[in-house]
A and B are shown apart, each in its own frame.
Chain A
Amino acid sequence: MHYPGAPELLKPASLKFILLTLVSGLLLNLLPWHGLALSFRPDFVALALLFWAIHEPRKSGFAAAWVAGLLMDVGDGVILGQHAFAYTLGVYVAIMLHRRIQRFTLWQQASHVLLLLLLLQTTMLVIRLFGGGVFPGPGYFLSCLTGAMLWPALSLLFLLPQRGRPDTDSVYSAGHK
């Protein structure tokens, strides 16, 4: 077990896996959410994009964020460019902060992610207010909270394929060898 803050040696993530996470994020976002569930629904695409921006800043492209954003715009039927702009901004800030965020434990990372998600949500709010929308109430920001809560679980899941060979010194994995 590595102590918090120690850099862990990981294999590089494969592009296929990154793509898979993004597509599943899109699918989860496009599920027929409505009502209360909708206001609690974290933005899975944003979470996946932020994750790869923090862990693979060289691979996770702005292009991916932009395309995923456009797909979300059409899927939700909103102004073209709303999600695309917010996602590229989020990815940029995440790439700028990736060295800092990587040093923290998962829950500390989650607090950073909460701020990043709030930034995304606020950006979209500002865009809509400029377009003549009305503020839909403070419940609009709930999804950031659930997104941040999901971060540790999501990190463990997304890092699974990159973990090295099982630790041969461990009692538990000895049997599998």
Chain B
Amino acid sequence: MEHQPFFKHGPSPLARFIFFASISLVLMVLDARLNALDSLRQIISVAVAPLQRLAMTPAELLDRTGNFFVTQARLQNENAVLRQQQLAQAAQLQRMQAMQAENIHLRNLLGVQQQRGESVVAAEIVYVGRDPFSQKITVDKGSNHKVQAGQPALDDVGVIGQVTQVYPFSSEITLLTDKDQAIPVEIVRNGARAIAFGHGQDGTLELPFMAANADIQNGDTLVTSGIDGVYPAGLPVAVVSKIERNAAFAKITCTPSAGVNRHKQILILTGEVRRFQKPEPDPAVTGTTGGKAPVSRKKRG
């Protein structure tokens, strides 16, 4: 500006804006591209956590008063149903124990590595994500309860997603339906393996890279295949709901089995997260293919 201001105001608004905007831009690049700001996020979360707690109290109070006025008849009904369920499940549990023993025995015979024993943390959903661009929930258990990033989260029906961000007293779980989330699955009927990707907004999963004539039907159940080392094998993931076979690859849409809208409680499997090392490129192999670089698969998302 060419004129001299009558009062001194410090730097002009434009200068201040450029200053703060550029710090924000740097932060965004560091966070999105390099994932270098986890510690800063942890520090800021210390300031936000009390506010979040405070913001949760009205809803909790409402919830508690609601619980207080439950009728006796409803409680008795619920009790009766639960008792029946418990009987049925006790019978199943006994069968399962017998089968587990048999399984261990057979595995020993085969010399197969023991499946890892899973320990579980029950967590309560605090928030269902406020960010319209991603599918995330926040739960009330964090690193103080042995939750680590990468651990799978389940409800009583199937897989919900994976822990992606851990704070001391809470953690963020990215749902399977998030656009950047993938899970290796297996069709129960025929054992065919595939990878299910989240679809983003509409709460469905899709199976890309399946040939148009692949053996898959409406209503097929998908379970985790366990080959990624993150999700244990055999957990229900989704049910195939729609198949379009008019291109080279079939367009397969699935409905997730588990849902975060049904209950407040979920389970986090807190076993060790196995991390696989990237295989070293083998010089012998690249030598035989005439110096061609090995085909690298581009990471999705």
1/0 per position for B78-93, CB-CB distance to A under 8 A? 0000000000000000
Please give, as numbers and ranges, the residues of chain A lying within 8 Å of B20 by CB-CB distance: 62-63, 65-66, 84, 88
* Shortest Cβ distance from B55 into A: residue: A30
Give the contacts of A16-67 with B (CB-CB under 8 A): 23, 26-28, 30-35, 38-39, 57-58, 62-63, 65-66
The reply to whether the CB of B156 lies closer than 8 angstroms to some CB of chain A is no
The reply to whether the CB of A160 lies closer than 8 angstroms to some CB of chain B is no
Q: Which of A72-80, A102-110, A147-155 lines the interface with chain B?
A: A72-80
1/0 per position for A68-103, CB-CB distance to B under 8 A? 011101111111111011001101100110000000
Cross-chain contact B55 with A27 (CB below 8 angstroms) = yes
The reply to whether the CB of A7 lies closer than 8 angstroms to some CB of chain B is no
Smallest Cβ distance from A1 to chain B, in angstroms?
33
Most central of B13, B20, B23, B48 by chain A CB within 10 Å: B20
Query: Which listed residue (A33, A75, A128) contacts B52, Cβ 8 A?
Result: A75
Q: Which of A111-119, A133-141, A167-175 lines the interface with chain B?
A: A133-141
**Once bound together, how far apart are the Cα atoms of A140 and B130, in whole Å?**
12
Cross-chain contact B24 with A76 (CB below 8 angstroms) = no
1/0 per position for B1-36, CB-CB distance to A under 8 A? 000000001000110110111011111101110000
Cross-chain contact A134 with B179 (CB below 8 angstroms) = yes
Please give, as numbers and ranges, the residues of chain A lying within 8 Å of B19 by CB-CB distance: 62
Cross-chain contact B55 with A128 (CB below 8 angstroms) = no
Please give, as numbers and ranges, the residues of chain A lying within 8 Å of B180 by CB-CB distance: 132
Cross-chain contact B201 with A136 (CB below 8 angstroms) = yes
Please give, as numbers and ranges, the residues of chain B lying within 8 Å of A58 by CB-CB distance: 9
Interface of chain B: mostly helix, strand, loop or mixed = helix
The total of interchain contacts (Cβ-Cβ below 8 angstroms) comes to 127
Query: Which listed residue (B21, B26, B45, B54) contacts A74, Cβ 8 A?
Result: B45
Please give, as numbers and ranges, the residues of chain A lying within 8 Å of B128 by CB-CB distance: 32, 34-35
The reply to whether the CB of A145 lies closer than 8 angstroms to some CB of chain B is no
Size of A's binding interface in residues, CB under 8 A: 48
Cross-chain contact A128 with B28 (CB below 8 angstroms) = no
Smallest Cβ distance from B16 to chain A, in angstroms?
5
Q: Which of B100-108, B112-120, B133-141 lines the interface with chain A?
A: B133-141
Cross-chain contact A92 with B55 (CB below 8 angstroms) = no
**Once bound together, how far apart are the Cα atoms of A30 and B58, in whole Å?**
12
The reply to whether the CB of B132 lies closer than 8 angstroms to some CB of chain A is yes
The reply to whether the CB of B121 lies closer than 8 angstroms to some CB of chain A is no
Cross-chain contact A74 with B133 (CB below 8 angstroms) = no
**Once bound together, how far apart are the Cα atoms of A132 and B134, in whole Å?**
11
Cross-chain contact B55 with A81 (CB below 8 angstroms) = no
The reply to whether the CB of A131 lies closer than 8 angstroms to some CB of chain B is yes
The reply to whether the CB of B109 lies closer than 8 angstroms to some CB of chain A is no
Q: Which 7 A-B pairs have CB atoms at the shortest separation, nearest pair first?
A: A81-B27, A85-B24, A81-B28, A92-B17, A30-B55, A81-B24, A136-B132
Given A34-B127, A35-B128, A70-B27, 8 extra CB contacts under 8 A: A30-B55, A32-B59, A62-B17, A62-B19, A74-B45, A74-B48, A78-B134, A80-B40
